[in-house]
Amino acid sequence: MNIHLIAVGTRMPAWVTQGYEEYSKRMPRECSLKLVEIAPGHRGKNASIEKAIEDEGKRMLAAIPKGANVIALDEKGKSWSTMQLSKQLDGWLQQGSDTALLVGGPDGLSASCRASARTSWSLSALTLPHPLVRVLLAEQLYRALSVLNGHPYHRE
């Protein structure tokens, strides 16, 4: 199974790329993490934010692999503890199909992305910077897999 992290934003700071890659490379082949960067929609003086979100959403939906389990990262989604995430991850692994995690841009996900998702997941009640979300997701997925494999990385 592959986990596709489909995220709006390109040209991330070096610390984001390094942090994401550190945890991504730790994932085993049977549960690899693949980043798909989506160019942000045009935002500017007379630009429509709604149009930018809609354009991002179309490109995100086009990047989802056929048959993938789609999870929207959304502030109104369900919060999962590490143990709950490990159970979710185990379920995704058991399904055998790829999973796509959708991370919107600065103004969130399009309605079409939220509608296409099987479920919505909230990482925190806090507002997190989108670059940090990539690193946080990669680390938490690695941690959840460590729980499933009985690896000592996660300690309760």
**Scanning the structure block, which residue is given the tokens 């789609």?**
70
Instruction: State yes or no: 123 annotated in a binding site.
Output: yes
Does residue 10 have a known ligand-binding role?
A: no
pLDDT band at 57 (very low <50, low <70, confident <90, very high): very high
Which stretches within the chain are classed as H helix? 14-24, 49-63, 82-95, 111-116, 130-148
Mean pLDDT of the chain: 94
Q: How confident is the model over 90-147, as pLDDT tens digits? A: 999 999 999 999 999 989 999 999 999 999 999 998 888 889 999 999 999 999 999 9
101: left (phi over 0), alpha (psi -120 to 50) or beta: beta
Q: Is 110 annotated as a binding residue?
A: no
52 is in an annotated binding site: no
Q: 3.40.1280.10, 3.40.50.300, 3.20.20.70, 3.40.220.10: which CATH number matches 2-149?
A: 3.40.1280.10
CB atoms within 10 A of CB 115: 12
Residues with Cβ within 8 Å of residue 88, at least 6 apart in sequence: 80, 144
Is 126 annotated in a binding site? The answer is yes
127 is in an annotated binding site: yes
pTM: 0.94
